[in-house]
A and B are shown apart, each in its own frame.
Chain A
Amino acid sequence: MILYAFRRLLESVVVLFAMSLVVFLSVYAIGNPVDILVSPQADAQEIERAIRGLGLDRPLWEQYAVFLRQAAAGDLGHSFAFNVPAIGLILERMPATLELAGAAMLVAVGLGIPLGLWAGLRPESASAKAIMAGSILGFSLPTFWVGLVLVMVFSVWLGWLPASGRGPTTDLLGVPVSFLSREGLRHLLLPAATLALFKLSLLARLTRAGTREALAQDYVKFARAKGLATRRVVGVHVLKNILVPIVTVIGLELGSVIAFAIVTETIFAWPGMGKLLIDAIGVLDRPVIVAYLLVTVTLFVLINLVVDLAYSALDPRVRLAEARA
């Protein structure tokens, strides 16, 4: 298994390398960040000076070589706009995004799977039909719209929850988190609900379909015939068997939620790293764009690895050595 994990990580290094090159070339093709960052009053000499100061006067291959050399030493460069190490900037914002993504996934899994199970077990009941109809809405409503409506209802009309921001944070092992204080939780609730809605609907539908399929299988009939309690039939036999596709989707969605929570972060002014990426693209802050995507790819690789390991735990037929990525 260690060998397997090691090979996966080695493959990801190649991906990281290729991606950094693509990002470098594409940002270079768009233009020169100094043209956007420099103050309008600056004259040509000042602009020259700024370009030199940021090392943008050198040929592209040389800039890339410098980047590679520094990256090998663990330094992904200084942000043009913030003048602090790009990786530090991302790590500083990461807890906010991870917390938001974690809370959203918790809501999605905690509600989606039970709702899906319920709908799968009693497909003809009115509640099941309501769940399915609701999930279609959750699927098709755009995130930014849902976010704005939630803000309008819960913050502006009812005044129950704050409209934006992260609120006060508490340090947990040196990492600032919101969920430990009441005020922090109040700030977390709306963005997490917005972000969770799509995943919740997805998981509910997936679970329902799996449950319906599993219920018709022989092993479920046999379990029932053996006289096992419904609770055990559903909780152990059905659930465990439908979990493999669900874990796959959770893994994929967790990655995308972390990397692209941007819409939600923007609407709720949540100081996460998704906003950082958009701002960085807006001013062509290349070190931040490159570092961000490197971090994201690494995250995806790690999540996929965990998902693969989870398969083997859930389904003894899966052998990691054979599961060639």
Chain B
Amino acid sequence: MKRLSAALAAFALAVSAHAADLRIGLAADVTSMDPHFHNIGPNNLVAWHVFDALTRVDENARLVPGLAESWRAIDPTTWEFKLRKGVKFHDGSELTAEDVLFSIDRPATLDRSPGPFTTFTRPIVAKEAPDRYTVRLRTASPYAMVPYDMNSIFIVSKKAAAGATQADFDSGKAMIGTGPYRFVAFRRGDRVELARHEGHWDARPAWERVTLRILPNDPARTAALLAGDVDAIESVPTADATRLAANPSFRTESKVSWRTLFLTLDQARDSPPGVTDRSGRPLARNPFKDPRVRLAFSKAINRQAIVERMMEGYALPASNLVAPPIFGYAQALQPEPHDPEGARRLLAGAGYPDGFAIVLAAPNNRYVNDEQVAQAVAQMLARVGVAARVEALPAAAYFPKARAGEFAVAMLGWGSFSADLALRSLALTPDPDKGFGTWNWGRYSNPKVDQLVVQALATVDEGKREALAREAMTVAMREHAVIPLHHQMATWAMRKELAYRPRTDEYTFAFAFRPR
């Protein structure tokens, strides 16, 4: 009896030691530990555990204080950030303005980055630290996005990171941050191991040790959860999500993601590639220059059917270029109702009673069920007389072609912190010098939208800025700058003993998991 109770006690101990650990299956590969090397989701996810930034976003992708407890524009071109006092790095040293200035300088010193963070630091033309806990950042012209941009610049320890190489970060030598977790080990292509940083300024996470397993293969990730290899996974495949939600041993969480899918329509060239009449002869003019044709496309698409059948309910029909919780979402816009009759009438009115033919390009490994969604859209277009042939390509081949302008109708997915930012990349008249319209594949152009977005980005007052962003979004979407399809849902699945507060930015944070 005594022996049995001792065994039970030992077992209970083992369970409680185990209960302090959390193992998470990530859906994408982490390429580097250096938080300033490559701006991609999985790398940033790890960085958010080990580092902090001046500002953060909450689960609705709204800006909240991070290492800076407050910020304000002291004049139209100067932002002042007040740092939290007494924030400690993992090596025990205190965070000061020096570390912040160093971290803002560092991205520009890494010249082999395939996706540089300088996007966020380039607008800053001067900076200073009037005291240990104050940072002032100056821009050349009024620029409202500085606090948002600072959400992307991780603050590293100047002492640890000065002169550090990529290898120093990967080995952990330079991985000194202020984040809720200390770096333990990085095994490329396999896992990242972390341990709780007891002195974090904000929350005390429930888990002492965290293992982030890299499981990009969908069935393998689900199997790892089912087999108990991991406690939670992100990006649950849509088919498995329904099944896991019905399984009493597991829980799923989902929330509308900031990723919105839409179709771009070439509205600039006279004869865009792949657009012909139904027998393959070139058309006299580009049909997408006519707003009636763009509206007809939008009416032809049954968004509800795509959400229910292709996405198994894990999506929302879209009317905006940003998801509902995001800054600048225009509530007044409603998803275009499915109306094939109306679409046919509009096409006839625009001079295409017999429709025409297009090539509909889409990636086949980038977004959730991307190729299937494209096929469904093609069938819906066929019902209003537009013969659409789907050209689905792997992302590696798709994006270079799309950026080179080889598609007239193409699928694109986008995530932004705010409507004005989304419009800047997607709907402004392309202007490489100003960085406008970089991803405006359809080359939509409206001076009114340009002016509203430029004004919004220069407006420091958040209320006024949001109104401007909403107005710009409304104008662009009423003119069908692009045809919105749906907002994806981000999904998580976990053991039933766990709870996670789902996030619109899709991040999976170990410190946001709680035991139930």
Query: Does A pair with B?
Result: yes
In the bound complex, what is the Cα–Cα distance between A93 and B189 (angstroms)?
Answer: 9
Q: Lowest 5 CB-CB distances: which A-B pairs, in order?
A: A31-B400, A43-B435, A44-B432, A37-B114, A155-B227
Size of the chain A interface, CB-CB below 8 angstroms: 54
Binds A, one of B30-38, B294-302, B470-478, B498-506: B30-38
Interface segment among A110-118, A233-241, A263-271: the answer is: A263-271
8 Å CB interface, A123-159 against B = 148, 151-152, 155-156, 159
Docked CA distance A156–B403 (Å): 44
Q: Are A82 and B227 closer than 8 Å at their CB atoms?
A: no
The complex places the Cα of A159 from the Cα of B113 at a distance, in Å, of 43
Known: A148-B219, A155-B229. Contact between A37 and B38, CB under 8 A?
Answer: yes
30 A-B pairs with CB atoms under 8 Å apart are A30-B397, A30-B400, A32-B400, A34-B115, A37-B40, A38-B114, A39-B115, A40-B425, A41-B119, A41-B416, A41-B421, A43-B119, A44-B435, A45-B432, A46-B116, A46-B119, A49-B116, A82-B31, A83-B113, A151-B223, A162-B229, A164-B223, A165-B191, A266-B216, A266-B220, A269-B214, A269-B215, A271-B188, A271-B189, A282-B394
Would you call B31 and A152 a contact (CB within 8 A)?
no
Residue-by-residue, is A41-67 near B (CB-CB < 8 Å gives 1, otherwise 0)?
111111101100110000000000000
A166 touches B217 (CB 8 A): no
A152 nearest CB across to chain B (Å): 7
Pick the interface stretch among A214-222, A273-281, A292-300: A273-281
Q: Chain A's nearest CB lies how many Å from the CB of B504? A: 16
* A252 interfacial contact with B, CB 8 Å: no
> Closest CB of chain B to A43's CB: distance in Å?
3
Please tell me the size bucket of the interface on B.
35 or more
B68 to chain A: closest CB distance in Å?
21
Residues of B within 8 A of A93 (CB): 188-189
CB distance from A38 to the nearest CB of B (A): 5
Once the chains bind, are B189 and A163 in contact (CB under 8 Å)?
no
Closest to A148 in B: B219
| Complex interface bits, A303-319 against B, C-beta within 8 A gives 1, otherwise 0 | 00000000000000000
Complex Cα–Cα for A42 and B31 (A): 19
Residues A42 and B415 in contact, CB atoms below 8 Å apart: no
The answer to whether B119 touches A33 (Cβ under 8 A) is: no
- B215 contact from A53, A80, A164, A166, Cβ within 8 A: A164
Indicate if the CB atoms of B223 and A54 lie closer than 8 Å.
no
**B188/A89 in contact, CB under 8 A:** yes
Whether A84 pairs with B166 at a CB distance below 8 angstroms is yes
Q: Contact between A275 and B189 (Cβ–Cβ < 8 Å)?
A: yes
Q: Are A38 and B115 in contact (CB under 8 A)?
A: yes
Flag whether A284 is at the interface (Cβ < 8 A).
yes
Specify which chain B residues have a CB less than 8 angstroms from the CB of A283 in the assembled complex.
Answer: 396
Q: B residues touching A (Cβ–Cβ < 8 Å)? A: 29, 31-32, 34, 37-40, 111-116, 118-119, 122, 166-167, 170, 187-191, 213-217, 219-220, 223-224, 226-229, 365, 394-397, 399-401, 403, 414-416, 421, 425, 432-436, 438-439
Minimum CB–CB distance from B202 to chain A (whole Å) comes to 26
Contact status B189-A39, CB under 8 Å: no
Residue of A nearest to B39 (CB): A39
Q: State whether A50 and B114 are in contact (beta carbons under 8 Å apart), knowing that A36-B400, A82-B188, A266-B220 are contacts in the complex.
A: yes
Q: Which of A34, A46, A81, A152 contacts B118 (CB 8 A)?
A: A46
Q: Are A54 and B112 in contact (CB under 8 A)?
A: yes
* A36-B217 Cα distance, complex, nearest whole Å: 19
State whether the Cβ of A78 lies closer than 8 Å to any Cβ in chain B.
Answer: yes
A-side contacts of B116, CB under 8 Å: 42, 46, 49-50, 53
Known contacts A46-B116, A83-B113, then 7 further A-B pairs from the complex at CB < 8 Å, ordered by chain A residue: A31-B399, A37-B40, A42-B438, A83-B112, A165-B224, A266-B216, A267-B219
B111 to chain A, nearest CB (A): 4
Residue contact A35 to B220, C-beta cutoff 8 Å: no
Q: Separation in Å of the B53 CB from the closest CB of chain A?
A: 15
CB within 8 Å for A83 and B37 given contacts A78-B112, A151-B223, A163-B226: yes
Q: How far is the CB of B339 from chain A (nearest CB, A)?
A: 32
A92 within 8 A of B: yes
Q: Are A269 and B31 in contact (CB under 8 A)?
A: no
Q: Are B223 and A81 neighbours in the complex by a CB distance under 8 Å?
A: no
Q: A219: shortest Cβ distance to chain B, in Å?
A: 51
Pick the residue among A31, A41, A47, A53 that contacts B112 (CB under 8 A).
A53
| Structural contact, A36 and B399, CB atoms closer than 8 A | yes
A43 adjacent to B229 (CB under 8 Å) = no
Choose one: B31, B224, B395, B397; the contact of A164 (CB below 8 Å): B224
Tell me which of A54, A84, A155 contacts B167 (CB under 8 A): A84
Instruction: Give complex CA distance A50, B39 in Å.
Output: 12
Residues of B within 8 A of A42 (CB): 39, 115-116, 119, 438
> Within the assembled complex, what's the spacing in Å between the Cα atoms of A13 and B401?
35
Contact of B166 among A83, A159, A268 (CB under 8 A): A83
A269 touches B220 (CB 8 A): yes
A44 to B113, CA, bound (A): 15
User: Which of A's residues lie within 8 Å of B, judged by CB?
Assistant: 30-47, 49-50, 53-54, 78, 80-84, 89, 92-93, 148, 151-152, 155-156, 159, 162-166, 266-269, 271, 275-276, 279, 281-284
* Pairwise interchain contact A269-B224, C-beta atoms closer than 8 A: yes
A46 and B122 CA atoms in complex are apart in Å by: 9
Residues of B within 8 A of A54 (CB): 112, 114
Indicate if the CB atoms of A271 and B166 lie closer than 8 Å.
no
Contact indicator B227/A162 (Cβ below 8 Å): yes
Shortest distance between the CB of B498 and any CB in chain A (Å): 18
Task: Give the contacting residue for B190; candidates A37, A49, A89, A165; CB below 8 A.
Answer: A165
Name the distance in Å between B24's Cβ and chain A's nearest Cβ. 13
Q: How far is the CA of A271 from the CA of B220 in the complex (A)?
A: 13
Q: Shortest beta-carbon distance, A314 to chain B, in Å?
A: 39
Candidates B226, B396, B435; contact of A284 at CB < 8 Å: B396
Residues of B within 8 A of A35 (CB): 399-400, 403
> What separation, in Å, do the CA atoms of A276 and B271 have in the docked complex?
41
For residue B32, which residues in chain A have a CB less than 8 angstroms away from its CB?
82-83
User: A271: which of B112, B187, B229, B414 is its contact (CB, 8 Å)?
Assistant: B187
Taking a contact as CB atoms under 8 Å apart, the answer to whether B213 and A45 are in contact is no
Hey, which chain B residues are within 8 Å of A30, CB to CB? 396-397, 400
With A42-B119, A44-B435, A282-B395 as given contacts, are A269 and B400 in contact (CB-CB < 8 Å)? no
Could you tell me the distance between the alpha carbons of A156 and B213 in the complex, rounded to whole angstroms? 18
Q: What's the least CB distance linking A283 to chain B, in Å?
A: 6
Q: Kindly identify which residue among B223, B395, B414 contacts A163, using a CB–CB cutoff of 8 Å.
A: B223
Whether B425 lies near A163 (C-beta < 8 A) is no
Q: How far is the CB of A7 from chain B (nearest CB, A)?
A: 37
Q: Which of A32, A47, A148, A164 gathers most chain B CB within 10 Å?
A: A164
Determine if A156 and B226 form an interchain contact, defined as CB atoms under 8 angstroms apart: yes
> Nearest Cβ distance between residue A122 and chain B, in whole angstroms?
40
A141 CB to closest chain B CB, in angstroms? 16
Of all chain A residues, which has the CB nearest B108? A49
Contact partner, B435, options A34, A37, A45, Cβ 8 Å? A45
Closest to B41 in A: A39
Could you tell me if A50 and B113 are in contact, using CB atoms closer than 8 angstroms?
yes
- Nearest residue (CB) in A for B166 is A83
